[in-house]
């Protein structure tokens, strides 16, 4: 039982769960998870492994996989080696390539869900449209496309890169051809022989361009800022290697650890810019060796420090740009007309299809406009100045809410799955502490959140990410609210244990009996 020193006095009385205004009664689960990508699924699997069955996974789509379900564009591939870009508790000896392609990762996630018995907890077509904290009942009240739910704990895992961002371009709505974002690929649309505009040259676009270049009649690649691109070390994993991993799982664990530690060292360059000289030389040589035309090379040479924006890897993007049917356009897009695109220099190019490779809403997380904490405060309002959380997970005034992955947990050098698993361990330890001590609500102390973010932003100073380029890592005020500025193992260490002293604790009031089926 909680002691009176550790738990703040509960001055409210428990109220029975309300039905949040809908006709059907709200179904209840101890934990509600929003999203079924790596984060949501990982959370669900870990709960099951920990013997907690009273949870539900609310997913707006009709399948698991998140990023790897949605990004079906030609050429979609992970840029972290497969042995590391997978759950530590679900190694996959069957990976066919060192860097997996989208269909294989999607299959892996489906398999993980099946093999770990997550299926019965999944609710597809359940987009969470609103979540409000009920202080009296110590519950989250959720509105979803599939009806209302209540939950003691809310794990928001809606994805850091799951809401496609399309720039507003004058005239776009009048375009008569096909228009789609790389994350919403229109597979019914035949690009063969077409004049295609690809807008953007970020991580997705550099995979799309070489994949479709041989099929299209003409391609205009609209580039605002060139990316630094390194050679890709992708190769098939041989049958012998796969057999070794199957028979000796330790071999794969050793490989995973080796890749992890090798990639950890990469962060030094982001933190100490002079260490970026070697990667920059490699990237320049890569460009020189693949693009003989000096004029095209000039267009493709970045004028900002390597690492300031995401470093990309590709062996076929540059060669595809040298093909006769491809043009790299560096003038800004001024307007779209019914069958063409006009650039700032007045040149008009006829196109049949426009493909946006323009990234995602990252620093303006859409879920923040749907979550209301204590006193009805909207998360987006709490984040008006800047998105921030304690250990990337919890936000003062939003009890029992964990955002996975949350602010400042992104990486430029290692696998996001590592950060996600660290946060999952933090949630699990919080549940353990709450259960053991009879705690009903945990709310991070504002001063703790402020102190951890001061430290984080101090560590951010002097990094290459703040060296002056515009990137999706930065919010409108130029603050980096997306990346973890350092090695990832200290993050793992700090999220291993939930420290109740960092939180305001409230003793538990009775929760409704679970009825999520
Ligand atoms: C093309 C691409 C390539 C990438 N490559 C890498 C890589 O190589 N290495 C790396 O570390 N990271 C990479 N990432 C980042 C990647 O997003 C993360 O690694 C990881 O997949 C994130 O998992 P997640 O579960 O947090 O989010 P997601 O995979 O985006 O899953 C979020 C889920 O939440 C659901 N959802 C969202 N809002 C709601 C709502 N309101 N109600 C219900 N459901 C909702 C979505 O439908 C989705 O299923 C890549 C991202 C993209 C887009």
DSSP symbols for 293-350:
-HHHHHHH---S-TTSSPPEE-SSHHHHHTSTTEEEE-SPEEEEETTEEEETTS-EEE
Cα 517 to Cα 118, 139, 142, distances in angstroms = 13, 18, 16
Q: Which atom of ligand 1 is nearest to the CA of 76?
A: 1
Q: Which atom of ligand 1 is nearest to the CA of 78?
A: 8
Q: What is the pLDDT of residue 420?
A: 98
In a domain, 239, yes or no: no
C-alpha 416 – ligand 1 centre gap (Å) = 10
Do 324 and 369 belong to one domain? no
Mutate which of 41, 67, 78 for ligand 1? The one with the most ligand atoms within 8 Å of its CB, which is 67
Do 109 and 33 belong to one domain? yes
Evaluated on CA atoms 199, 202, 207, 213, the torsion sign reads positive
In a domain, 270, yes or no: yes
Report how many domains make up the chain.
Answer: 2
- Per residue in 136-195, pLDDT (tens digit) is 999 999 999 999 999 999 999 999 999 999 999 999 999 999 999 999 999 999 999 999
Please give the model's pTM, rounded to 2 decimal places: 0.94
> What does the block give as tokens for 90?
């679900």
Q: What is the pLDDT of residue 54?
A: 97
Pocket of ligand 1 (CB under 6 A): 34-40, 58-61, 66-67, 71, 76, 78-80, 85, 127-128, 157-162, 204, 367, 405, 415-416
Most distant CA atoms of the chain, gap in Å: 75
The residue out of 333, 356, 379 marking a domain boundary is 356
Q: What is the pLDDT of residue 364?
A: 85
Burial 206-238, CB ≥16 within 10 A → b, else e: bbbbbbbbeebebbbbbbebbbbbbebebeebe
Q: What is the pLDDT of residue 4?
A: 34
In a domain, 427, yes or no: yes
| 360 C-beta neighbours (distance < 10 Å), count | 18
The residue out of 356, 380, 414 marking a domain boundary is 356
Q: Which atom of ligand 1 is nearest to the CA of 204?
A: 1
Do 130 and 40 belong to one domain? yes
Do 266 and 251 belong to one domain? yes
Task: Report the share of the chain in percent with pLDDT over 90.
Answer: 90
Question: Based on C-alpha coordinates, what's the Rg of the chain?
Answer: 24
The answer to whether the CB of 142 falls within 8 A of the CB of 154 is yes
The residue out of 340, 356, 372 marking a domain boundary is 356
Evaluated on CA atoms 473, 471, 265, 109, the torsion sign reads positive
In a domain, 417, yes or no: yes
Which residue lies with its CA nearest to atom 37 of ligand 1? 158
For tokens 């004049």, the residue is: 195
Q: What residues contact residue 10 under an 8 Å CB cut-off, 6+ apart?
A: 440, 506, 507, 509
Do 138 and 194 belong to one domain? no
Do 194 and 298 belong to one domain? yes
Q: Which atom of ligand 1 is nearest to the CA of 67?
A: 29
C-alpha 379 – ligand 1 centre gap (Å) = 20
Dist CA 109 CA 105 (whole Å): 6
Do 276 and 220 belong to one domain? yes
Do 383 and 440 belong to one domain? yes
Q: Reduce the DSSP state of residue 39 to 3 states and report it.
A: helix
C-alpha 77 – ligand 1 centre gap (Å) = 14
Q: What residues contact residue 186 under an 8 Å CB cut-off, 6+ apart?
A: 178, 180
C-alpha 447 – ligand 1 centre gap (Å) = 30
Do 296 and 420 belong to one domain? no
C-alpha 482 – ligand 1 centre gap (Å) = 14
Burial label, 241 (beta-carbon count in 10 A; 0-12, 13-18, 19+): middle
Do 297 and 184 belong to one domain? yes
Task: Give φ, ψ of 34 to 5 degrees.
Answer: -100, 115
The residues facing 138 across adjacent strands are none
Identify the H or E element spanning 57.
strand 55-58
Name the strands in the sheet holding 218-222, side by side, starting at the edge strand that comes first in the sequence.
178-181, 353-356, 195-199, 218-222, 326-329
In a domain, 223, yes or no: yes
Which residue lies with its CA nearest to atom 20 of ligand 1? 38
C-alpha 161 – ligand 1 centre gap (Å) = 5
Do 124 and 271 belong to one domain? no
C-alpha 178 – ligand 1 centre gap (Å) = 25
* CATH code for position 87: 3.50.50.60
Which residue lies with its CA nearest to atom 48 of ligand 1? 66
- Per residue in 372-429, pLDDT (tens digit) is 999 999 999 999 999 999 999 999 999 999 999 999 999 989 999 999 999 999 999 9
C-alpha 508 – ligand 1 centre gap (Å) = 33
Q: Which of 232, 189, 188 is nearest to 210 (CA)?
A: 232
The answer to whether the CB of 58 falls within 8 A of the CB of 144 is yes
Burial 257-283, CB ≥16 within 10 A → b, else e: eebbeebbebbebbbebebbeebbeeb
For tokens 């649309």, the residue is: 189
In a domain, 295, yes or no: yes
Task: Give φ, ψ of 269 to 5 degrees.
Answer: -65, -35
For the chain, list residues with pLDDT below 70.
1-24, 514, 516-517
In a domain, 242, yes or no: no
**Could you tell me the residue range of the domain that residue 291 belongs to?**
172-234+247-356
Q: What is the pLDDT of residue 250?
A: 97
In a domain, 12, yes or no: no
E strands, 377-500, are 401-403, 439-444
Do 370 and 316 belong to one domain? no
The answer to whether the CB of 151 falls within 8 A of the CB of 31 is yes
Cα 508 to Cα 117, 239, 293, 411, 439, distances in angstroms = 29, 54, 69, 36, 5
């Amino acid at each position: 039982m909680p002691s009176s020193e550790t738990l703040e006095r509960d001055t409210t009385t428990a109220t029975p769960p309300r039905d949040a205004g809908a006709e059907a009664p709200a179904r209840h689960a101890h934990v509600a998870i929003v999203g079924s990508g790596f984060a949501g699924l990982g959370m669900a699997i870990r709960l099951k492994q920990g013997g907690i069955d009273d949870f539900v996974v609310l997913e707006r789509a009709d399948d698991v996989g998140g990023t790897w379900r949605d990004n079906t564009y030609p050429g979609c591939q992970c840029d972290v080696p497969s042995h590391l870009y997978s759950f530590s508790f679900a190694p996959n000896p069957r990976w066919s390539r060192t860097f997996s392609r989208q269909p294989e990762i999607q299959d892996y996630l489906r398999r993980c869900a099946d093999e770990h018995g997550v299926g019965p907890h999944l609710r597809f077509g359940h987009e969470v449209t609103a979540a409000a904290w009920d202080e009296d009942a110590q519950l989250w009240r959720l509105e979803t496309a599939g009806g209302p739910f209540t939950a003691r704990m809310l794990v928001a895992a809606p994805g850091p890169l799951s809401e496609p961002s399309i720039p507003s371009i004058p005239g776009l709505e009048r375009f008569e051809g096909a228009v789609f974002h790389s994350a919403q690929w229109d597979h019914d649309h035949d690009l063969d022989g077409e004049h295609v505009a690809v807008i953007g040259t970020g991580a997705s676009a550099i995979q799309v361009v070489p994949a479709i270049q041989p099929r299209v009649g003409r391609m205009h690649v609209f580039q605002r800022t060139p990316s630094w691109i390194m050679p890709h070390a992708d190769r098939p994993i041989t049958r012998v290697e796969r057999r070794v991993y199957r028979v000796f799982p330790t071999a794969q664990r050793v490989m995973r650890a080796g890749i992890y530690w090798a990639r950890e060292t990469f962060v030094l360059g982001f933190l100490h810019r002079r260490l970026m000289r070697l990667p920059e030389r490699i990237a320049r040589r890569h460009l020189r060796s693949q693009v003989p035309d000096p004029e095209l090379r000039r267009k493709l040479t970045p004028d900002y420090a390597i690492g300031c924006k995401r470093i990309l890897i590709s062996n076929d993007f540059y060669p595809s740009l040298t093909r006769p049917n491809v043009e790299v356009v560096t003038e800004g897009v001024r307007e779209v007309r019914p069958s063409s695109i006009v650039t700032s220099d007045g040149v008009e190019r006829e196109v049949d299809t426009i493909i946006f490779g323009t990234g995602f809403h990252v620093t303006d997380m859409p879920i923040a406009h749907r979550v209301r904490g204590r006193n009805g405060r909207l998360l987006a309002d709490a984040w008006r100045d800047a998105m921030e959380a304690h250990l990337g997970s919890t936000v003062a005034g939003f009890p029992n809410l964990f955002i996975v992955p949350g602010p400042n947990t992104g990486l430029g050098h290692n696998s996001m799955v590592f950060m996600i698993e660290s946060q999952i361990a933090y949630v699990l330890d919080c549940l353990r502490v709450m259960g053991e001590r009879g705690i009903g609500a945990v709310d991070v102390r504002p001063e703790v959140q402020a102190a951890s973010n001061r430290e984080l932003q101090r560590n951010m100073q002097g990094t290459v990410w703040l060296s002056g380029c515009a990137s999706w890592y930065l919010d409108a005020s130029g603050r980096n609210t997306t990346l973890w500025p350092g090695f990832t193992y200290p993050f793992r260490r700090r999220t291993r244990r939930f420290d109740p002293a960092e939180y305001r604790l409230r003793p538990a009031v009775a929760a409704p009996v679970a009825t999520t089926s």
